[in-house]
Amino acid sequence: MSIHPLGGAHAPRTEPMRVLEEIKRLALETLGGLPGGLYEPVEDALKRSVQGDDGHDAPQLLYQNQAALWVLRQHHATHVMRYRQQVARGFDDFRVLRIRNRGDLPLGLIDESQIDFHLAGQGLAEAIEHSHSRALETMAGRLQAVAAVLGLPPTVNPIGPTRLATAFVETFNDEQVPAPLRVLLFAQYQRALDAELGELYAKVNELLANSGYGAAERAPTGAMPIRPPAPRADFDGVGQADSAGSRYEREERREQGTYAPPASGAPGAAPTSAELSELRSMLHAWRDGRLNNDAADAGAGQPPTPSRRQLRVEEVVSVASLLQGEPSDVFARALADSGRLASAIRDQLNDGSRRLGLNPEQISFSVEEEDAIDLVALLFDSVFSSHHLQDRARRLYARLVLPFIKVALTDQAMFVQSAHPARRLLDAITEACAGNRAETPQERELLDRAAAASQRVVAEYNEDLAIFETAHAELDALLQQQRRRIELQAERAAKATFGRERLNHAREQADAVLTRRIAAPPLSRAVSDFLGTSWRHHLVQTLLREGEDSESFAAAVALGDALVEADRIAADGRGRDLAQRLLALEPTIVACLGSSGLDPSSADHALAVLVKGLVYPNAPRDLHDPPAAHVDDDAAERERWLVGGMDPLRFDPSVFERMRALQPGEWLQLTDIQGETVDAKIAWISPLSARRLLVNRRGLRVLVASAEELASLATAGRLQVGCEPTAFEQAMRHMREELDRGVTRH
């Protein structure tokens, strides 16, 4: 598809690199000095913030923050220079100039003391995105046209919110900034950006359009760059991709707003939704099938059931309220055995009716009440079949059964409206509990907070949905931290995987070089041992540090060739030539031994062993086998997911193309060879092997696989593209599948 500038379909295109350089110049002229202008307004704001504090430690806090600000002022020139470098680096990333040097990316973990700084940067990026969304959307399409002309995949806007947040975070990354001062720094930087970005973005959009890169189409939704694990997609310092849960929550709130209850407000009022009507029709067919089977199992000739009075919704709600605060062990036991919860709910409601003076043999539930019971039972069963929930979580959910029965009776919008307060609380509790083994203080705190949320609902819910909103807000505040930890966990998994791939790739390259030297001519044992140990290790280290195209690697290869030649000289008995050759090689050999971690004394000893092996012309010389293949570090992981070992993979070409098109941030459902299903997100695509790193909802590594391997899983029916972003939606899908299967069986 050709992309023409808006307002000028036939305007000639300027060479894209010239356009990028002009944008870079504009950006640096407009934004390059921002860090230097922050300190005075920050100091004024700092004084105002402390003046209103009557606490006895206010002067001490002011002194500490002023001292930290004074230190920042002393580093003013460094900050401006570093910030300008970071802004310029965004353009290098756009042009993929740094891809070949990605080996210099730090593979370590982010220091815990810096996490809040990075998280503040994420919030800053989101605020800029919100304030300038229209201009950024236009710019995204036009920059996509520039990338297309350069033959590049979609890349990050070099002056977008992500990049500008990254630049600021990296500028102060090495500084010790107290929390109050950090807040003021980011606030002032945001104000400074807001004052400049409107005009800058307008100029850049005009420049792109006038240069022939006006884009009439929007950039494809979800398009993300394929890149090594540098950090985040939100901004380089923290992690590449938004977690699916947090992104979904932002989009849902933006598109749907807050929950609006049924207008009637009357008990039992249900939304006139086609989706809910369809769900209830499926439920009725499923329940009728079960009743028919039960009647057939009971045999013919049974007396008809006498007519019973149907309970009103208000009566069932009263019974549920009576039982709500009582121990929920019966529901916990029912959740341990799928399919028993609905019967347990009916038994408990009948028992509660008896305690209120209603004879269970003379009353029955209405169709709406039966629907509410079955829907809640199927919902909770589906949650437990979809997530890894521990025994403690089962008791937590059991407490929520009766409150959710009351919600289902009075507001069935819960089943079709994603912003419903009860629904959002269940999502939050499941997010806190799924896969949580309480192994860390953070995990234990999450479980405690989730338990407190459920207990609060039990204690205070009386048909006012506000309690669900309050409980959700309290739990979600902690979940925000959990989501950030998950993002960091996924980044660490990506960095570890990238580091391992780089090491394996370097070993394979070094082994290829080594094989060509030891295969011919015949070599003495001393030379072959040296080449296969110290020299091979030196090759690997040089490849990792300098790269294949570096002068250092060429020199390392030349050392191996020189030793092979020295061995040939020794075999010919040319002692004088051998001595001269070894003297010339001595500094290079010592450096090679040093890269293996040998101290000078050990290096001298190893050199002596090598020389001793060369001084005898008649020493036996042989051809040598290539080094053994590297052991697959991922063998156990692959055995869990891939069947057939080294057998050829089988897949449909169209499925392969679909797998190859998957981008970071997309979710899949995987089923291992034991039949266990897990949700997995593509967190990263390797620039070396194009393999995909898949992590679970906790950010932990699940599988690293090629597009071909994913295609074979999909062909075998053990991979589904896409999964519901929330626990409630996933449970609803499982519920529908269960109803479909039930109707088919009956």
| Amino acid 612: pLDDT | 84
| Amino acid 222: pLDDT | 36
When divided into structural domains, the chain yields a total of 3
Report if residue 721 sits inside a domain. Answer: no
| Amino acid 495: pLDDT | 92
Whether 528 and 485 map to the same domain: the answer is: no
Whether 287 and 435 map to the same domain: the answer is: yes
| Amino acid 644: pLDDT | 60
Whether 165 and 205 map to the same domain: the answer is: yes
Report if residue 11 sits inside a domain. Answer: no
Whether 194 and 278 map to the same domain: the answer is: no
Report if residue 727 sits inside a domain. Answer: no
| Amino acid 183: pLDDT | 83
| Amino acid 104: pLDDT | 38
Domain boundary among 444, 472, 491: 491
| Amino acid 11: pLDDT | 52
Pull the structure tokens for residue 52: 């209103």
Report if residue 191 sits inside a domain. Answer: yes
Domain boundary among 188, 203, 220: 220
Whether 474 and 526 map to the same domain: the answer is: no
Whether 346 and 211 map to the same domain: the answer is: no
Whether 486 and 558 map to the same domain: the answer is: no
Q: What is the SS3 assignment for 356-389?
A: CCCCHHHEECCHHHHHHHHHHHHHHHHHHHHCCC
Whether 533 and 427 map to the same domain: the answer is: no
Report if residue 184 sits inside a domain. Answer: yes
Report if residue 203 sits inside a domain. Answer: yes
Report if residue 514 sits inside a domain. Answer: no
Domain boundary among 220, 237, 254: 220
Whether 40 and 123 map to the same domain: the answer is: yes
Whether 534 and 405 map to the same domain: the answer is: no
CB distance 72 to 175 below 8 Å: yes
Residue 269 backbone phi and psi in degrees, to 5: -65, 125
Task: For residue 615, give its domain range.
Answer: 520-622
- Chunked mean pLDDT (size 10), the chain, 746 residues: 37 80 89 84 75 59 73 77 86 65 39 65 85 88 86 83 88 79 84 89 90 57 33 35 35 45 44 72 84 52 60 92 91 87 94 88 92 94 79 87 95 87 94 85 90 93 90 90 88 91 91 87 87 91 91 92 90 87 88 82 84 81 77 72 69 90 89 84 91 89 90 88 82 85 64
| Amino acid 111: pLDDT | 53
Report if residue 401 sits inside a domain. Answer: yes
Whether 483 and 525 map to the same domain: the answer is: no
Long-range contacts formed by 109-118: CB under 8 A, 24+ apart: 109/492, 110/237, 110/238, 110/488, 110/491, 114/173, 114/237, 115/238, 115/484, 115/488, 116/179, 116/182, 117/169, 117/172, 117/173, 117/177, 117/182, 117/237, 118/169, 118/235, 118/237, 118/238
Whether 83 and 209 map to the same domain: the answer is: yes
